[in-house]
Structure 1
């Protein structure tokens, strides 16, 4: 009798996918291109969409506040916008790396 017929074709769980991902890759992808690309690598769609919504809201707020701004204020607005996006990338990178560690620790 062939034992291969008893194998299930169940797809891996969310935790198994996360534990199998390389934490450093997810961190790097959330920092370098930013905006949640590491979440795509980890197949964490909810975290990706939350990050995308936050980044879009940040862009929209910057665009709304930057309308009719004088040149000196525009330079400051751009700096604040960049700092916000870098902060978002740093937070998502840390969270992606910590999530991998947490899942691996819980799996034993």
Structure 2
């Protein structure tokens, strides 16, 4: 993977307040090596899950578009799982360290 985003290539940024994760950093910074970006559940297929994700972000008047993502650093298991399907690790709860991704 190239460390420089290609023109026209999608760049993802984490929608969580206080998070500086974006996919352009993966090739440049070691702490970003294992970080993945997950799309919000869709309004059509999973409206309750989408609402919960948005509530947990605690961003005023935030309505994620189809490009909005939450990075793996905010999931207890490093990704949405059956046990922890929602992003739970944020600055407001002292950003507990996930099992999969080390946060520095």
Tell which structure's C-alpha radius of gyration is larger. Answer: 1
Q: Which has the higher helix share?
A: 1
Q: Which has the higher strand share?
A: 2
Q: Which has the higher contact order (CA 8 A, sep 6+)?
A: 1
With normalisation by structure 1, the TM-score equals: 0.26
